Amino acid sequence: MTTPKLSISGPKRIALVAGETSGDQLGAGLIAELRARFPDAEFAGIGGAAMRAEGLDAWHDCGELAVMGLAEVLRHLPRLLNLRRALRKRLLAWKPDIYIGIDAPDFNLGVERWLKERGVRTAHYVGPSVWAWREERAEKIGRSADRVLCLFPMEPPIYARYGVDARFVGHPLADAIPLNPNRAAAREALGLDPRAPTLALLPGSRLGEIEKMLAIFLEAAALVRQQLPALRIAVPAATPACRTAIDAHLRAFPELGDAVRVFDGDAQRAMIASDAVLLASGTAALEAMLCKRPMVIGHRISPTTYRIVSTFGMLKTRFVGLPNVLANEGLVPELLQHDCTPSKLAAALLRWFGHPAAVEALLPRFEALHRQLRCDASARAADAIAELIAPERFGAVASASVDADPAAH
């Protein structure tokens, strides 16, 4: 096996591969910070418009990797395998100083391991959720990545148990969202009544999630509106296809009438504008926390998946919502599976609308968590990468960044 000769002098070559829009945004911030440390660096790999705007030589677009669901993966498998083979060959010929896989673990971890075995330094940005289930995956991830960059402070200790070098860098959303979002400005921008009680509904950004959750959420909203007739409901649609699906569901709820406004995108602004948020679990729960809005998390998975998870004890955390996971207590209601019914969701929402003191007590907890995650994530991630590429120049900087880690205190 031939080890590629890494560049000792001249421009650093940094390969990055992002598999979807969220990874493209992370990659763009990372490229900008790495360029500040390596002004003449060359960046190549797979990314989207944001990474290209920062100077990535995109050999492929990240949309080519954005395949979800078992049936879709199987249909695209031959193409993805060919893409991976071609990418590995091109990377080895290009001789990067480091390969950075951004999320997309099913694709990136295999490429990372293959390159690591051939002497290329590797890093993985956004580790899989080992804090939630199958903690032992950390060991396998460590065989692929020389360093894992984590968004949450509870992750590095788990990796450390398996001898994996993992660094908490913070969450870019925490950097982007103000500590005190302006609700009045958000309502004005969206054309919402500044005085009306407002509920934001976020059933998910994928069609499967909308089909599974939106009817339940709309029925819950209708029950809330029976108690609050002035209620206004904001529903952001992630894509045109999502909007079509949302509009189809709304036709089954004529009683909601003009109380509902559907927006193209603007999920974050809709959350800021709301008095409460009803959402499926995932990053949206974190975003609602950063927007300082009380929420109710409602989620269902397939009965078969639920039985497997329950029977084998695969879920290793008491909570599924990130605000509760980060706080290690039930700050906001989680109504899952059999508890995720319109009546229970409505009752939980009405408690937020009817108890302003409870909302006021929640806000400082959310702010404290926000500050914990607000670490200038792109800069800290770049410090951790720079130390791998040029430890003689950047080792002290990265060590200082780790010492400043709020999770360590």
| Domain co-membership, 229 together with 332 | yes
Count of the separate structural domains present in the chain: 2
Give domain status of residue 1, yes or no.
no
6: in domain: no
Quick count: other Cβ atoms within 10 Å of Cβ 137? 17
CB crowding 255-277: b at 16 or more within 10 Å, else e: ebeebbebbeebbbbbbbbbbbb
Do 242 and 263 belong together in one domain? yes
SS3 state of residue 219? helix
Residues 288 and 356 in one domain: yes
Half-sphere exposure of 308 (CA within 13 A, CB side): 6
- Whole-number Å distance between alpha carbons of 243 and 249: 10
3-state class (DSSP) for residue 59:
strand
Phi then psi for residue 294, to 5 deg, are -65, 150
Two tokens, residue 291: 């927007």
Task: Evaluate whether residue 309 is within a structural domain.
Answer: yes
Which CATH number is 66's domain given?
3.40.50.2000
Q: Are residues 243 and 96 in the same domain?
A: no
Range of the domain at 150: 13-170+375-408
Start-to-end CA distance of the chain, whole Å, equals 44
Residue 3 lies in a domain: no
- Picking from 173, 133, 217, the residue whose alpha carbon sits closest to that of residue 323 is 173
Residues 127 and 209 in one domain: no
In terms of domains, do 304 and 391 share one? no
Contact 122, 132 (CB under 8 A): no
pLDDT in tens, the chain (409 residues): 444 444 445 799 999 999 888 899 999 999 999 999 999 999 999 999 999 999 999 999 988 886 654 455 567 678 888 899 999 999 999 999 999 999 889 899 999 999 999 999 999 999 888 876 778 889 999 999 999 999 999 999 999 999 999 999 999 999 999 999 999 999 999 999 999 999 999 998 888 889 999 999 999 999 999 999 999 999 999 889 999 999 999 999 999 999 999 999 999 999 999 999 999 978 899 999 999 999 999 988 766 665 655 655 555 667 889 999 999 999 999 999 899 999 999 999 999 999 999 999 999 999 999 999 999 999 999 999 999 999 988 875 555 555 545 444 3
Nearest CA to 290 among 380, 187, 180, 166? 180
Residue 159 resides in a domain: yes
- 277 alpha carbon, distance to own chain's centre: 18
**Distance between CA 278 and CA 276 in Å, rounded?**
7
| 145 and 220 fall within a common domain | no
What's this model's pTM, rounded to 2 decimal places?
0.86
Residue 73 lies in a domain: yes
Separation CA 264–CA 356 (nearest Å): 30
354/404 same-domain check:
no
φ/ψ region of 360 (left if φ > 0, alpha if ψ in -120 to 50, else beta) reads alpha
Please tell me whether residues 27 and 76 are part of one structural domain.
yes
φ, ψ dihedrals at 146, nearest 5°: -65, -30
Do 328 and 388 lie in one domain? The reply is no
CB atoms within 10 A of CB 49: 14
Sign of the CA dihedral with 333 first, then 334, 336, and 342 last: positive
Q: Please report whether residue 235 resides in a domain.
A: yes
Q: Are residues 385 and 399 in the same domain?
A: yes
User: Cα–Cα distance between 397 and 389 in angstroms, integer?
Assistant: 13
Beta strands at 232-237 and 198-202: parallel, antiparallel or unpaired:
parallel
Residue 102 lies in a domain: yes
CB 261 within 8 A of CB 233: yes
Assess whether 141 and 190 both reside in one domain.
no
CB 19 within 8 A of CB 66: yes
C-alpha span between 293 and 199 (Å, rounded): 10
